[in-house]
Amino acid sequence: MKLELRDTTKCRARSLLLGDRLDLRSFKIAECLSTTPLTLRVGDEGGVAVLFRYGVAVLFGVDGAAEGEFISGLRPLLTNAYPTPETEELEIRCGGATGVQSGVVSVEDLTLENLQVIADALSKSLVLSLYENRVKGEFDRIEPFALELAHRGRVSGESRLLLAKIGSMMLIEHRMVGRAEIGDKPEALWDHPRLEGLYASLEDEFELRERQSALDRKLGLISDTVRTLAEVWDKKQLHKMEWYVIGLIALEIAISLFELGDRLYR
């Protein structure tokens, strides 16, 4: 399906990560160009928006005023909307061999299917950037605990805090696999296998597979580290409890001996 954009020779794609989740059920199917993924017309200049339930909107040929109005309309549908959206842009040109070179995507025509494939790669790259930054921050927070364990052989943090970090890592993994489906190919490729080459070029340009593998390794390392720290903390607390029990038993024995001695000397 060929689209009537304002400029049929080139356009700019702008991807915005707006929040944790975007409720797409509010849009009527009759108003959509496509439902997998959800694709809509934006503004009066032929702009197009591709929306993803993991909180990303990818806009094609949409000017600043129309973008602001459209994004404002999405706000009520967002879960945990971000104050400042993460963004990423890409230039698209028509003509020449299909592929990506020097950060510019070349396609034969600005068709709906081409834009959906580009939108899929852009949105996944943006989600990966967000989680890469979050995981980097977790590394910085966990490092003092690991250093303390290495130098002093103990952990002074609270087990609830460490368990909360495990939960954070599990949540990131859930969103990557369950919502963003980073490792899956876009739906458009099932009906248009000729676009495999375009998606492969975009995958290489954004290093989607490499970044996902690196992120998976980091998530695993953080989870293993935090679990180890939590186990050390739990054992420390268990040893404390053992000493408390020993102390109570010793106190009970002392009281019993005192009462026995008091009865003997009466």
Walk along the chain (266 residues) and give the pLDDT tens digit of each residue: 556 565 567 889 999 999 988 998 877 766 788 888 899 998 777 789 999 988 999 999 898 888 999 999 999 999 889 988 889 999 999 877 888 887 889 998 888 899 999 999 999 999 888 888 877 776 666 666 666 555 565 555 555 565 566 666 656 655 555 444 677 888 888 888 889 999 999 999 999 889 888 888 877 777 676 676 666 666 666 656 766 677 777 777 777 766 666 666 66
For residue 18, which of 59, 46, 66, 63 has the smallest C-alpha distance? 59
Q: Please report the pLDDT score of residue 151 as a whole number.
A: 59
Q: Please report the pLDDT score of residue 201 as a whole number.
A: 92
- Give the number of C-alpha atoms closer than 13 A to the C-alpha of residue 252, restricted to the C-beta side: 6
Q: Are residues 104 and 146 in the same domain?
A: no
What residues make up the domain containing 212? 126-239
Q: Are residues 59 and 159 in the same domain?
A: no
Q: Are residues 98 and 198 in the same domain?
A: no
Is 64 contained in some domain?
Answer: yes
Residue 36 sits in a domain of what CATH number?
A: 3.30.310
Is 44 contained in some domain?
Answer: yes
Is 65 contained in some domain?
Answer: yes
Is 185 contained in some domain?
Answer: yes
Q: Are residues 136 and 202 in the same domain?
A: yes
Q: Are residues 135 and 98 in the same domain?
A: no
CA dihedral of residues 130, 39, 179, 84 (deg, nearest 10): 30
Is 75 contained in some domain?
Answer: yes
Q: Please report the pLDDT score of residue 74 as a whole number.
A: 92
Q: Are residues 143 and 96 in the same domain?
A: no
Q: Are residues 229 and 152 in the same domain?
A: yes
Q: Are residues 52 and 83 in the same domain?
A: yes
Q: Which position has the token pair 């028509």?
A: 94
Q: Are residues 133 and 235 in the same domain?
A: yes
Q: Please report the pLDDT score of residue 178 as a whole number.
A: 45
Please state, as a whole number, how many other Cβ atoms lie within 10 Å of the Cβ of residue 123. Answer: 26
Q: What's the pTM?
A: 0.73
- Residue 122's region, left for phi above 0, alpha for psi from -120 to 50, else beta, is alpha
Partners of 2 in beta bridges = 111
Q: Are residues 143 and 181 in the same domain?
A: yes
Q: Are residues 97 and 174 in the same domain?
A: no
- Domain tally, the chain: 2
Q: Please report the pLDDT score of residue 18 as a whole number.
A: 94
